[in-house]
Chains A and B, each alone.
Chain A
Amino acid sequence: MNDMRRLKILVADDTDTDRLILESIVRKEGHTVVSARNGVEAIAVYAAEKPDLVLLDALMPELDGFGAARKIKELAGDELVPIIFLTSLSDTESLVQCLDAGGDDFLSKPYNRVILQAKIKSFNRMREMHSTMLTQRDQIVQYNNRLLQEQTVAKHVFDNVAHSGCLNAGNVRYFLSSLAVFNGDVLVAAMRPTGSMMVLLGDFTGHGLPAAIGAMPLASTFYGMVPKGFSMTDILREINAKLKNTLPVGIFCCATMMDINFRKKHLKIWNGGLPDCFIYHHKDRRISAVKSTHLPLGVLSNRAFKDNCEYFDLEKEDRIFAWSDGIHEARNIAGDMFGEERLKAVFEKNMEPENLFKEIIENVQQFVGSSEKDDDLSLLEIRMDEPARVNEFAQQASDKYGNSEIEWAMRFEVKPTSFKVFDPLPMLLNVLMEVPSLRAFSSTLYTILAELYTNALDHGVLKLDSELKSTAEGFADYYRLREERINSVTEGFVRIYITHKTNENGGLLKVRIEDSGDGFDHSGRSENTLSTFGYSGRGIALVEKLCGRVTYLGAGNVVEVEFSWVSDD
């Protein structure tokens, strides 16, 4: 034995002489022999011994070699068991009969040792190849099953994330292939607290799991932020940053995002990399195309990301159409793409706007015909309508925010024992964040409150001299003194008054902070001489920049600012 392992070979021959010779040859080659004297015996020995190779005499009593070969092949199933017929038959018909019965080759009498040896080697190679193939086939089946199972789980998870939205609203129609998650298209929609609707249609580069994985952070960020009232630009930036940080280079998301205000009939829209969206004006059947003016999400760092949007005033029954490139790039049998011209033609031919959605899909499907689809179709239609006809939430929000001016006020006082253990800023900010539209300004509001409160506490209650901070050594003294005084303070207060009132365009937030200190002479203060406040004045300069104006009252121990905000939708 050199390069071949020891095989077990079945020799079935009714002629003792022939069998004896064959057994000897096979044994000489280093293989194990099992023998049979007729076809029936051959089948029994095969079943019991499972040999690797079968040498079968064609003509035998009981059951001939042809019958035995058929049965043995049947027993072998998927396994390749080479059968070599032993025969002194030489007519074409008999040889064909051998092959028909499942034989793989012949060995004619008189036996030639060299030829038999070569045949055993060759069939053993074939057998090993076949066995490798079977193993690999089983592995492929296993991998495929696992892949399908993973995709099912991924789709389930994604559906749970994606279906919490408002795609079922009365004015929304969409078409997505059933495996949309895995063709990289994603469609999410949710209501803002103000009753406007935010929708994002995205198309990730690539297909399969990588695309679906990118859709997860997108959907969870979207559904996490929209109901909390974040502005569209904040959400776009957040999604862009998440995708940029998590996705590999080369995978990104072409997307259109819109904020539709049904009460004011406004549309705010951002298009990064998707084909032109169409705004269909009901009155004159005109189409305004919204071109992509941005790079897709997940390409640029947030520093370079551009969030400027386009704004449209719509009328009732106007329709917004958005699509991934699946429609434009759908190919017919000749390989031509559907393209924007054909899409425009659908709009031109249309008689009844209500049918546009259906007609687009029908036209694309007719165009594609039976040829295989390159990409899957994703189509979205949103109709401008009264809030009441969108969904219940839109109506309630509209009633709530519509014409009423909402107003509230709060007063909060920090007492001496609290100064060193309690920072009121997070609590105050939390209250402000309950106003959805103010969330967009959280960092600005924090800066304003922090500066004013710190001034009131440090200079008012603790009576620290801001001049101290004009030198580096003074800074150290300042903080040492502050530490001493805050630990020993027994009297004083900081009172915070906040009022908020909404109006048609946004709202007005007033903050007034009063401290128990002596104040300062603010009469000589002019808006152009911020530097007179030195280091400590910097905070005020900043607040002034953010609010437009900072007013000191009374002895200078009361400060008032107004923060006027304009809703961006």
Chain B
Amino acid sequence: MEHLDYETLNTLRQVMEEDFDLLIDTFIQDSSDRIVKLREVVGGTEADPIRRAAHSFKGSSSNIGALRLTTLCHALEKKAMSNNLEQLDQDLLEIEQEFAQVQELLRTLA
């Protein structure tokens, strides 16, 4: 699966115009915060905060066209929803690695 959906990003560039760079910066900053938040809740024992955090991250990822990141967040959301809290560290790691990739690719666009 592609990391990024370039069609979505092109549309966003048209819509945002000069604010496109700001959007990318915001997404990177926002996502970094979310990963910190995710790490925090994954360390806990409650499923709902994990589901919510994954859900929000999924939403913003899908809007920016980060296809694989969206899929990973969705998978984590579904696990939390079914109360399956095993090997969450692994899921978090995959999300972190994917975000690092996305971040690098986005920087080249901005």
Identify the A interface with B (CB < 8 A).
14-18, 20-21, 24-25, 28, 59, 87-89, 109-111, 113
Cβ contact within 8 Å between A109 and B62 = yes
Identify the B interface with A (CB < 8 A).
8, 11-12, 15-16, 19, 22-23, 26-27, 29-31, 52, 55-56, 58-60, 62-65
In the complex formed, the residue of A with least CB distance to B5 is A110
Residue of A15, A28, A109, A113 most packed against chain B (CB within 10 A): A15
**8 Å CB contact of A17 from B8, B30, B52, B55:** B30
- Complex CA gap A21/B64 in Å reads 9
- Complex CA gap A410/B14 in Å reads 114
In the complex formed, the residue of B with least CB distance to A21 is B63
Cβ contact within 8 Å between A21 and B23 = yes
With A20-B22, A88-B62, A109-B62 known as contacts, the answer to whether A59 contacts B55 (CB < 8 A) is yes
Cβ contact within 8 Å between A25 and B15 = yes
Q: A17-B26, A110-B63 are in contact. List 18 more A-B contacts (CB 8 A).
A: A15-B59, A16-B26, A17-B23, A17-B31, A18-B63, A20-B23, A20-B26, A21-B15, A24-B16, A24-B23, A25-B15, A59-B52, A88-B59, A109-B63, A110-B8, A110-B62, A110-B65, A113-B11
- Complex CA gap A474/B15 in Å reads 110
- Complex CA gap A393/B59 in Å reads 95
- Complex CA gap A227/B102 in Å reads 105
- Complex CA gap A14/B62 in Å reads 15
In the complex formed, the residue of A with least CB distance to B8 is A110
Give the chain A neighbours of B65 by CB distance below 8 A.
110
- Complex CA gap A16/B57 in Å reads 11
Cβ contact within 8 Å between A28 and B15 = yes
Cβ contact within 8 Å between A14 and B11 = no
In angstroms, how far is the closest chain A Cβ from the Cβ of B11? 7
Give the chain B neighbours of A111 by CB distance below 8 A.
63
- Complex CA gap A21/B17 in Å reads 11
Give the chain A neighbours of B58 by CB distance below 8 A.
88
Cβ contact within 8 Å between B15 and A24 = yes
Cβ contact within 8 Å between A24 and B19 = yes
Give the chain B neighbours of A89 by CB distance below 8 A.
55
In the complex formed, the residue of A with least CB distance to B34 is A15
In angstroms, how far is the closest chain A Cβ from the Cβ of B107? 15
Cβ contact within 8 Å between A88 and B55 = yes
The list of the 5 closest CB pairs from A to B, nearest first, reads A88-B59, A17-B60, A110-B62, A17-B27, A109-B59
Interface of B is mostly: helix
- Complex CA gap A21/B27 in Å reads 10
Cβ contact within 8 Å between A59 and B26 = no
Give the chain A neighbours of B15 by CB distance below 8 A.
21, 24-25, 28, 113
In angstroms, how far is the closest chain A Cβ from the Cβ of B80? 14
- Complex CA gap A24/B58 in Å reads 20
Give the chain A neighbours of B19 by CB distance below 8 A.
20, 24
11 contacts between A and B (CB under 8 A): A14-B56, A17-B23, A17-B27, A17-B60, A17-B63, A20-B26, A25-B15, A87-B59, A88-B59, A88-B62, A109-B62
- Complex CA gap A87/B58 in Å reads 11
In angstroms, how far is the closest chain B Cβ from the Cβ of A279? 91
Give the chain A neighbours of B59 by CB distance below 8 A.
15, 18, 87-88, 109
Give the chain B neighbours of A87 by CB distance below 8 A.
59
Cβ contact within 8 Å between B30 and A16 = yes
With A15-B56, A109-B59, A109-B63 known as contacts, the answer to whether A21 contacts B30 (CB < 8 A) is no
Cβ contact within 8 Å between A15 and B55 = no
Residue of B30, B52, B63, B64 most packed against chain A (CB within 10 A): B63
- Complex CA gap A107/B58 in Å reads 15
In angstroms, how far is the closest chain A Cβ from the Cβ of B74? 9
- Complex CA gap A100/B64 in Å reads 30
In angstroms, how far is the closest chain B Cβ from the Cβ of A565? 103
- Complex CA gap A400/B59 in Å reads 105
In angstroms, how far is the closest chain A Cβ from the Cβ of B92? 19
- Complex CA gap A28/B12 in Å reads 12
- Complex CA gap A18/B12 in Å reads 11
Cβ contact within 8 Å between A15 and B11 = no
Give the chain B neighbours of A28 by CB distance below 8 A.
15
**8 Å CB contact of A21 from B12, B29, B31, B55:** B12
In angstroms, how far is the closest chain B Cβ from the Cβ of A11? 13
- Complex CA gap A111/B23 in Å reads 14
- Complex CA gap A113/B94 in Å reads 31
With A24-B16, A28-B15 known as contacts, the answer to whether A17 contacts B56 (CB < 8 A) is no
Residue of A14, A24, A28 most packed against chain B (CB within 10 A): A24
- Complex CA gap A18/B23 in Å reads 9
Residue of A18, A28, A89 most packed against chain B (CB within 10 A): A18
- Complex CA gap A16/B19 in Å reads 13
Cβ contact within 8 Å between A18 and B11 = no
Give the chain A neighbours of B30 by CB distance below 8 A.
15-17
In the complex formed, the residue of A with least CB distance to B29 is A16
- Complex CA gap A113/B13 in Å reads 12
Give the chain A neighbours of B12 by CB distance below 8 A.
21
Give the chain B neighbours of A113 by CB distance below 8 A.
11, 15
Give the chain A neighbours of B16 by CB distance below 8 A.
20-21, 24
Give the chain B neighbours of A16 by CB distance below 8 A.
26, 29-30
In the complex formed, the residue of B with least CB distance to A25 is B15
Give the chain A neighbours of B23 by CB distance below 8 A.
17, 20-21, 24
- Complex CA gap A294/B64 in Å reads 90
Residue of A15, A17, A21, A25 most packed against chain B (CB within 10 A): A17
Cβ contact within 8 Å between A17 and B22 = no
